[in-house]
Amino acid sequence: MAKGRVSIVVEHCKSCGFCVEFCPSHVLALSSAFNSKGYHPPHAVHPEKCSGCDLCGMYCPDFAIFATKTPGAKEGDK
Amino acid sequence: MSDRLITDIVNAGVNPVDHILRTDRMPHIWCPGCGIGTTVNSFARALIDSKIDLGSLALVSGIGCTGRVAGYVKLDSFHTTHGRAIPFATGLKLANPKLNVVVYSGDGDLSAIGGNHLIHAARRNIDLKVICVNNLIYAMTGGQTAPTTPGHSTTSTNPYGTFEPSFNLPHLVEAAGAVYVARWTTFHVRQLARSIGEAFQKKGFSFIEVISPCPTLYQRRNKLGDGLDTMKYYKEKSKVRHGAPTGEVGLTMTGEIIVGKFVDRDRPDYQTMMRTQYCESLGERFVEQEEMVCS
């Protein structure tokens, strides 16, 4: 069970790539799909690696991504 | 892949900073790769972490890209005339000394047209928290040379390169008398949030400079890549040096960026000095100002 879960508000994303670049566990990648403004929002390619640290949420200039800790996940769980 | 995206929309809960933002106005007008949103994010998290009463907080901003912050935060906010964010904030603070007043503006607004107000507010040590987002250019008006534009960079008013020496803002405000001076880049999100929290603990003129990318006008014209390339440059070239002499922290176009907390000192603020002076000269006749109530 992953320690955290990343949520993406697809319509707010402007595909700057900050979250993809600075995620410490490399959970994210820009997808090839478009949102309605024509940007490529990120998606979680390795959701099981997410630690819920919310660094993606702090870097996001568009308030379009955030991560939450999974309640009940133990330290050391993958 | 499209399945994944739809799942993500369904899974989207509530962003922890949503209650500080006017989410009905999102997505905002800032360009893809612009760092202003990141600074607002850090600011919002600093407010949450420092548990400040949001009702006692007022945010004042001037004109420019960063001036738009006032419209996107769900706080008492004030979008003022060009360069006059600090005078409006000074008035707010004097009329209601219990208010925490934050000035959130850009380098062009604070140091160019409002440069005079900046140095005098620092000299008087008015209890304001000034967050200056420095994108090294006048961005909203089309990329003209600003007082902070580093030498040799190309701008729309200096197509053959800037030759004017630029302002070193931490040095300027330290010399003018600020009690707290720090500089971070948009790469240092956690440090920036901590610094904003520290500034709220200080009484007096606090100044935090945040170096931010402007991919549309500054980086593109100088062939420095996009917002992400600039963030990588910040990561690679910034050096944390707390307490560095501010005279040595000037910015260049592609050189090292010294970041950190440069000044943290104590000096009586404007209202303390005013009270001391009036108590001394008027004695018994001096009456403390009553709290102002708007009805």
Q: Using the predicted structure, report yes or no on whether residue B170 has a pLDDT greater than 90.
A: yes
Which residue range(s) make up the domain with A42? Answer: 4-69
B64 sits in the region (left: phi over 0; alpha: psi -120 to 50; else beta) called left
Q: Is A34 on the interface with B (CB under 8 A)?
A: no
Query: Across all residues in chain B, what is the average pLDDT?
Result: 91
SS3 string, chain A, reads CCCEEEEECHHHCCCCCHHHHHCCCCCEEECCCCCCCCCCCEEECCHHHCCCCCHHHHHCCCCCEEEEECCCCCCCCC
Q: Which residue of A has its CA nearest to B27?
A: A12
Which residue range(s) make up the domain with B161? Answer: 16-268
In a domain, B293, yes or no: no
pLDDT bin (cut points 50, 70, 90) of residue B284 is confident
In a domain, B75, yes or no: yes
pLDDT bin (cut points 50, 70, 90) of residue B13 is confident
What are A60's two structure tokens?
Answer: 């996001």
| Cβ within 8 Å, pair A60-B5 | no
| Cβ within 8 Å, pair A68-B13 | yes
What are B147's two structure tokens?
Answer: 């007082």
- Model pLDDT, residue B283: 86
Q: Using the predicted structure, report yes or no on whether residue B7 has a pLDDT greater than 90.
A: no
Contacts of B48 in chain A (CB under 8 A): none
**Which has more confidence, B232 or A1?**
B232
In a domain, A42, yes or no: yes
**Contact (Cβ atoms closer than 8 angstroms) between residue B204 and residue B179:** yes
In a domain, A19, yes or no: yes
Q: Is B37 on the interface with A (CB under 8 A)?
A: yes
**Contact (Cβ atoms closer than 8 angstroms) between residue B234 and residue B257:** yes
In a domain, B80, yes or no: yes
Q: Is A16 on the interface with B (CB under 8 A)?
A: yes
Q: What CATH number is attached to the domain comprising B239?
A: 3.40.50.970
Contacts of B30 in chain A (CB under 8 A): 61
| Cβ within 8 Å, pair B1-A59 | no
Q: What percent of chain B has pLDDT over 70?
A: 94
- Model pLDDT, residue B148: 94
pLDDT bin (cut points 50, 70, 90) of residue A67 is very high
Q: Is B12 on the interface with A (CB under 8 A)?
A: yes
Report the length, in residues, of chain B. Answer: 295
Which of B4, B21, B23 has its CB closest to that of A43?
B4
In a domain, B236, yes or no: yes
Query: Where does chain B have alpha helices with state H?
Result: 2-11, 36-50, 69-72, 85-95, 107, 115-124, 169-176, 189-201, 220-221, 227-237, 270-282
Q: Is A52 on the interface with B (CB under 8 A)?
A: no
For chain B, how many structural domains are there in total? 1
In a domain, B287, yes or no: no
In a domain, A75, yes or no: no
In a domain, B73, yes or no: yes
pLDDT bin (cut points 50, 70, 90) of residue B295 is low
Q: Using the predicted structure, report yes or no on whether residue B3 has a pLDDT greater than 70.
A: no
For chain A, how many structural domains are there in total? 1
Q: What CATH number is attached to the domain comprising A42?
A: 3.30.70.3270
Q: Is B30 on the interface with A (CB under 8 A)?
A: yes
| Cβ within 8 Å, pair B41-A66 | no
pLDDT digits (tens, 9 = 90+) for B195-248: 999 999 999 999 999 999 999 999 999 999 999 999 999 999 999 999 999 999
- Model pLDDT, residue B200: 94
Q: Is A62 on the interface with B (CB under 8 A)?
A: yes
Mean pLDDT computed over B145-161: 93
